[in-house]
Structures are given as structure tokens and as C-alpha cells.
Amino acid sequence: MFAEIITIGDEILIGQVVDTNSAWMGEKLNAVGIKVVQITSISDKSEAIKTALSTALTRADIVLITGGLGPTRDDVTKSSLASYFNMKMRVDGETLRNVENFFTKLNRPLLEVNKLQAEVPEGCEVLLNEYGTAPCMWFEVDGKVVVSMPGVPFEMKYLMEDKVIPKLKEKFSMPFIYHKTILTANIGESFLAELLISVEDNLPEHISLAYLPKLGQVRLRLSGVGANYDNLKNEVDSIAKQIIGIANDYVLAEVDTTLDAVVLTELISRNKTLSTAESCTGGNIGHMLTLNAGGSAAYVGGAITYNNQIKHQVLGVNKEILENFGAVSEETVKEMALGTLNTFQSDYAIATTGIAGPATDNDEKPVGTVWIGFASKQGVKTKLFNFSGKREQIIDRATSAALTFLLYHLKKEDK
């Protein structure tokens, strides 16, 4: 079963708004076996809407449209659909009562322009939007379905989950889709592909493997389509097991997750705590870790020691070491990691110090030079990295590298 998504609104085309609706819809549709084959963003222009809809219907069984349903003049989705389907407008009683209730509740006068919200093309079925005044409209034509929804994310999400997806499942019988994601690190995309060549060569037609690289990690995603869910799941899981067997040294997680979430899970399962000392990453490691709810069981906190004086004052880094070897050095990162372990009284500590650029004041240490340190009760380990990219990229890469370095040593200590 194929679907297309059409998002309507100039704000997306001029980059004022990032379209997060489509990704959310893609994920939900995928989960029920509907494959999104195209997402199209167009402006609030009647011709563009009609052309996009007509071409989408040549490829897909389901077309989901968001946006352009507001009460102001720049919103033309409803009239464009009426024109496309050659339908007159009618007032929908239930929608009108819904609009009136909204204004009563807000204690605001109902304007004529708001009453227009209750007008819909006469041939559509209205799915009541309990979270807003714009109606959700369901059209059927030649066995295909077109749904128009508001673009406001929480209204769209409610309508999709409570009304549209259940109704689509009723109307169409769909195959199952099953995904399995494996997170790897410390190996490049092409090396991983070479390792997995025999797996790829033997993939059945209905299962595909995608490589999704990001900041030193590669996500491997197996996707299968089938009529029997249990068989499909067994088949995909068994291929995943083969992959994990082959790429074992590089596997961080056997589910779709993030590096920072893996770090917290691994720490919590060992009942261990972590602190951080960040110079070039400036708080980004702490930020990534604290994006995960419940991480305080393992992550106690850290120091951002951006300035050398602070490295000495807060973490007790020896002033002579700073003077003799410089802030970006193996000796300094060692002292930072050990000082953090001591100050924050955690089981482990990671430290970063480097040159994020764009300028360096040291000819021998180019932009991208980053030292990472890992300290535990067993001592301190260090590693030197040379990252490329702009400032933000170097900070992101150093953050990933520090978390990966920590995971590597956590697993090593298990042995």
C-alpha cells in the first residue's frame, strides 16, 4: 500500500519552519504497513495543490495533505480540493457546533470568517477535529483515499492516531512491515559494507539493508515486508543476528537508539556513575546525556573548564603541566579526567580538550586536534583525535568520540 504526503505552506519553502510533520507521519504509516513513496512541499497556490494531488494519485493509493486550512485569505486548500473534485461547498453542522464551542470556551466573539471553517466540499466525509476549528476531510475516489488535515502538529497527530490511521486500516488490507536497527561505531560505512558483503548478497528480495552514517557511528537498518508478521520478524531478526555476529566488535546497541542513551543504559546496568570535564566540547557532552530523561541515576554532572585558570582552580590541574605541555595535551587531559573523578566522586570520568577552531594559536596543533581522557579507579586512558570540519562539527565529533571511548573502556573493564 503506497501513500504520499503533501504539505502546503510558504513557510516551509522559505525555510521559516522545518517540516517535522512528514517524518512523524512517515513513521506512523510505516508502522502499519503503508509505505510513503513521496513527500511534496508546495506553496499555498491552488494550481500547485491540484497538480501535486493529481500526480500523487498516479503513484499512491492514499494521499495525506496537511496545511492551508486556516481562516485567512492565504489558506486555499479547501477551495482547491472542491475545485479538483468538482464539488460544491456545504456547511457541516457538527463542525459549525465545534467552532462555536471553541469560541465560547475561549470567551471570544465568533467572526463570520470563523464560521467559514465549517464549510466543506459536499462529497467529503468530515472527521471531527476535537483539538481545533479546521475540519479533517476524507475523500474517496476510484478506490483511493485523499485526506486533508490541519498542519498544526498536535491537531494533525491527534487526527492521524485517533481517526485517519484506524479508518485506513479498516479500508485497506495491508502487508506487515518490520524494521530492525543496529547501532555501530568505530568503523566506517564502507568497511562495514565490506564486512557484510556476504549478508547483503544473500538478502531475500523482500528485505533490504540501509547504512545510515552520522558522526562516527553507522546505523544499520534492515527493513522487511511480508504477509505474515511472525515469519517476517523471525527472518529479519535472524539476519540481524548474523550481522551482529560478524560486526560484533563495532556494535553499540541492537535497537534504534542514540549513543548518549546507550552510555546511560550501560552505566545504569553496571550501577556506575559518570562525571565530565569539558573544554573544547564546552558542555555538549553533558547536554547530550541530559537530553535523556532519568539519566541522573548515572550522570552526576561535570565541569566546563573553558579557561585554563579554571582547569587548575576547579579540577586541580597542575599549573606547571598547563605551562609546560599546554591545555591541549595528553598530560592535561589526564589531569582533567583524574581531577573530575576526584571532585565529582564518580566511578568514571571523561575529559576533552582540543582546538575547535576556526583559528589555532599553535602551529604544531592544527584545528581539530582533540585529546580525550577516560578515568576510572584503575587509572586513566587517553586518545588523540584529528577531526575535520567546521567548529560545530568538531565539537559534535569530539562529543561522539568521547562517548564511544567511554563505552569501549566500559566493555573492556567487563572482560
The residues in 277-296 that bind its own copies, with binding defined as CB under 8 A, are: 278, 280-287, 289-291, 293, 295-296
The residues in 338-377 that bind its own copies, with binding defined as CB under 8 A, are 343-345, 356-359
DSSP code at position 160: I
Least distance to its own copies, CB of residue 415, Å: 26
Single residue of 1, 32, 38, 381 touching its own copies by CB under 8 A: 38
If the CB atoms of residues 43 and 83 are measured against its own copies, the closer one turns out to be 43
Q: Are 327 and 279 in contact (CB under 8 A)?
A: yes
If the CB atoms of residues 34 and 137 are measured against its own copies, the closer one turns out to be 34
Q: Are 110 and 102 in contact (CB under 8 A)?
A: no
- Cβ contacts of 96-105, under 8 Å, gap ≥ 24: 98/128, 98/129, 98/130, 98/133, 99/133, 102/132, 102/133
Q: Are 127 and 170 in contact (CB under 8 A)?
A: no
- In this structure, what is the dihedral angle of CA atoms 26, 31, 36, 42, given to the nearest 10 degrees? -20
Site string for its own copies, 48-67 (x = CB under 8 A): x---x--x------------
- Does position 175 interact with its own copies (CB under 8 A)? The reply is no
Single residue of 122, 125, 140, 189 touching its own copies by CB under 8 A: 189
Single residue of 299, 348, 371, 405 touching its own copies by CB under 8 A: 299
Single residue of 8, 25, 243, 328 touching its own copies by CB under 8 A: 25
CA-to-CA distance for 1 and 88, rounded, in angstroms?
Answer: 30
The residues in 315-334 that bind its own copies, with binding defined as CB under 8 A, are none
- Does position 380 interact with its own copies (CB under 8 A)? The reply is no
If the CB atoms of residues 84 and 102 are measured against its own copies, the closer one turns out to be 102
CA proximity to 300, closest of 279, 274, 264, 266:
274
The residues in 89-148 that bind its own copies, with binding defined as CB under 8 A, are 105-106, 108, 111, 113-114, 131
CA-to-CA distance for 382 and 330, rounded, in angstroms?
Answer: 7
Single residue of 127, 195, 244, 304 touching its own copies by CB under 8 A: 304
Q: Are 400 and 367 in contact (CB under 8 A)?
A: no
If the CB atoms of residues 42 and 146 are measured against its own copies, the closer one turns out to be 42
